Amino acid sequence: MLIDTHCHLDFAQFAPDREAVIRRAKEAGVGYFINIGATLDSSTASCRLAGQYPEVYASVGVHPHDADSFKEEELDKIKELAAEDKVVAIGETGLDYFRNLSSQDNQKRLFGELIELAKGLDLPLVVHTRQAEEDTLKILKTAMPLRAVVHCFSGDENFLKECLGLGFFISFTCNITYKKAQDLREMIRLTPLDKLMLETDAPYLAPEGFRGKRNEPAQIKLLAEEVSRIKGVSFEEIADKTTNNAKGFFRLK
């Protein structure tokens, strides 16, 4: 069994055929989906999907891109959603200095508030960070102890070691299959199996051979096969280790 620890099945790209997408993923061996909230509306939809499909669990949060428009009263609504039975994490949240669609100050403020929410509810944190590693680490270190996964890892070896040193999990996506992604493949090689999780970030980051098309959770099988090749261990071991890691981290039943 495989677990897609980060997908966005609530997004409009899946509206025409969501049930078929979930069915294809299950046929490919996906046993659970963690559907990640990116806005208040997305988090609400994520909870709705979790209620509709037994295999789907929800995470609720607000992406750093939306920090400028985030209103303080929305934090109470996120907290209400987080109390629902199948909500297993807070996020995604973090810092994105690559696109800077919101001010860095507002990103930091929102990140801090959602970290405190996660700690208060004893839920793990799903961290998004892009070209903001120094500030991300500074904020996370201040908040320790904390359970977290750095999703769609894109950092260097130093950032990887810092995250592992804090006990965080590292999650990789299908972009590791890209021809020019040798640096990412090296990060996988350096990540211990007991700290590794897999995700598609669907509908984004379709694997090599499917680039430009919608990604979907069934493609996590290709991701696991590539990780197996990089780590030099069997597909079955990758599936077993990453599934157990995800089950423990998200406390899946």
Mean pLDDT of the chain: 98
Note the Cα 131 to chain centre separation in Å. Answer: 17
Angle at 175 between CA 219 and CA 140, to 5 degrees: 110
Q: Which two tokens stand for residue 180?
A: 């020019």
Which of these, 19, 59, 91, 29, lies nearest to 238 by C-alpha position? Answer: 29
In angstroms, what is the C-alpha Rg of the chain?
17
Q: What CATH number is associated with residue 223?
A: 3.20.20.140
Average pLDDT over residues 181-205: 98
Q: How far, CA to CA in Å, does 208 sit from each of 74, 173, 175? A: 38, 12, 8
Number of domains in the chain: 1
pLDDT (mean) for 50-55: 98
| pLDDT score at 26 | 98
Mean pLDDT along residues 151-179: 98
41-46: list long-range contacts, CB under 8 Å, 24+ apart.
42/8, 42/10, 42/11, 43/78, 43/81, 44/81, 45/10, 46/10
> What local confidence, expressed as pLDDT, does residue 102 receive?
98
The domain containing residue 238 runs over which residues? 2-250
Q: pLDDT-derived band of residue 253, with 50, 70 and 90 as boundaries?
A: confident
Residues 213-226: pLDDT tens digits?
A: 999 999 999 999 99
| Global pTM value | 0.97
Whether residue 18 contacts residue 9, with contact meaning beta carbons closer than 8 Å, is answered with yes
DSSP-based helix, strand, coil % in the chain, nearest 5: 50, 15, 35
Residue 93 CA to residue 95 CA, distance in Å, equals 7
Strands 30-36 and 2-7: parallel
Q: Confidence band (pLDDT; 50, 70, 90) for 145?
A: very high
Could you tell me the two tokens for 136? 């991300």
Give the pLDDT of residue 71.
94
